[in-house]
A and B are shown apart, each in its own frame.
Chain A
């Protein structure tokens, strides 16, 4: 039943989003422009490269690519927060009661909503990388496609799992969106979105390593720009896989707890 609900939820979300051909067209076309925009945004820094030290290895990466990937994954992270806030959307359109009345697994509902956003994400990623390779000379070096695929997939899943934990706040409080917005700036800073985390004060590093985005950025940058192999990124991938499990378990508990609290406080179906 779990996967049935996930699929139903994905289907519903995709249908609700792509209800006209025009929307479909712009969803497909915009990432190309987005890639160009990001490139020109970081063009002034493109003259040099950046050294990324990780796990006793030193990779020299294209600086433009480095920052572009940071921006790209961060866009995805914020997209996950928006795509994942299933209950806020349901609440706003007056359908939350109908969903919660059903015996459907809550995690399955959220997961379906988040995975429906995967279409946007995958296309954004393909569209942006394609526009870099086709129109501008970003130094893309891929030696191990499997490692690249694993990096993207695990980054994606870990962010989905973290997004599900956030969903508990959306469930419990009408201020969930505000909390999510408040977290954006610290996460931008701590994840090493625009600079290598080694440049950060040492005291802040432990906080960086709590974020799946940090490890996602490391593994995607190394495999997409540094030609890293599966062996090179084995450590961040293991951490990401662990985070997927830990955040999923945590999300299951948090959602159950938040639903109970919301029923007690009567905030479940209020706008």
Chain B
């Protein structure tokens, strides 16, 4: 155990997967080493909702599995509440839980209530508290009225909500959510996000590590974000900090009338303009047809230059909207840069 104040801490965490294959039944063995995590360093504060983003195969699930004690790192160390995930695995298991996306981790022939009761026994929840806790969790995830139906009769969203209840059965201090809204429809995913953010983090004060590749999900929920790409942590910080570091990703949306080829050509020759997209717009201003332009620019200082260009080409600007980089822009920037 180390004397850290962090809820989760990863130091030079690396994980390699070795796969051996034979060309045919008695052929020569070939070994491939895949580096899933490469000297990753990060820490998560208590009560924080930390998002780990990255494309498929970036190492998100590997990180979560190491932190949950389901996998051992090839090198480096990870600590959960100061407990080493390898040496103190038994202690770590008592204070964490994990919820994965997809339809796993539940017994389909048992009812929702029986599932939670079973896991309560595995976590040694005090006997007198089992019924109360199970009831409260079923209430919390909105499954109280279907608690005694077999899970195989549940919808996908209900199963996912039950999974979240399972993840909370031991009242964990740290909850790992690995793509928790994977494959869910918009409304259910939204409810689950709200539930995690408002109930689990804000009300109950739990620390959450969320992995996702839905950018809006991370944008909406996370206090801090880390970008993983090909096993490396390429950026980490608050969204605003990360956005400030990105030199591109700003765009100007203009609604204009009297748009000409000459104006478009003038725009594309401006130094700060990277790209111009023209789209039709349903509407008129003073009897003239409106066009919509989305202009990608280097930075937020480019707007006056763009407006000058438009007025010099006799276009009439009806509306201007400056948009900063989204998390998706950051994701593209950091993952492509790496």
Contact = CB atoms under 8 A, between A and B. Distances in A.
Nearest to A94: B104
Interface stretch (A98-106, A148-156, A214-222): A98-106
B121 A19 contact: no
A95 B122 contact: no
B70 interface: yes
Interface residues on A, range: 20 to 34
Interface in B60-99: 65, 68-72, 90, 93-94, 96-98
The 6 tightest CB contacts between A and B, nearest first, are A94-B104, A8-B121, A102-B122, A98-B105, A104-B122, A103-B93
Nearest to B123: A102
Contact of A103 (B65, B90, B106, B114): B90
B209 to A, nearest CB: 14
A110 to B, nearest CB: 13
B166 A98 contact: yes
A82 interface: no
Given A4-B121, A98-B119, A101-B93, A93 B70 contact: no
Contacts of A93: 107-108
A16 B109 contact: yes
B195 interface: no
Given A97-B105, A263-B71, A103 B119 contact: no
Given A98-B105, A264-B72, A265-B18, 10 more contacts: A8-B121, A11-B118, A16-B110, A19-B150, A93-B108, A98-B119, A101-B69, A101-B96, A103-B124, A269-B65
Nearest to B178: A97
A263 B122 contact: no
B110 A97 contact: no
Of A8, A97, A98, A101, which is in contact with the most chain B CB atoms at under 10 Å from its CB?
A101
Interface residues of B, number: 34
| Main SS at interface, chain A | helix
B106 A95 contact: yes
A16 B96 CA distance: 27
A268 interface: yes
Contact of A97 (B70, B90, B118): B70
24 contacts: A4-B121, A5-B122, A8-B117, A11-B118, A15-B109, A15-B110, A94-B103, A94-B104, A95-B105, A97-B70, A97-B98, A97-B100, A97-B105, A98-B105, A100-B70, A101-B68, A101-B93, A102-B93, A103-B93, A103-B94, A266-B71, A268-B70, A269-B65, A269-B70
B42 to A, nearest CB: 21
A172 B171 CA distance: 30
Contacts of A16: 107, 109-110
Contacts of A12: 107, 110, 114, 118
Contacts of B100: 97
A1 interface: yes
A5 B105 contact: no
A134 B124 CA distance: 47
B17 interface: yes
Contacts of B114: 12, 15
Interface centre among B70, B90, B96, B122 (most CB of A within 10 A): B122
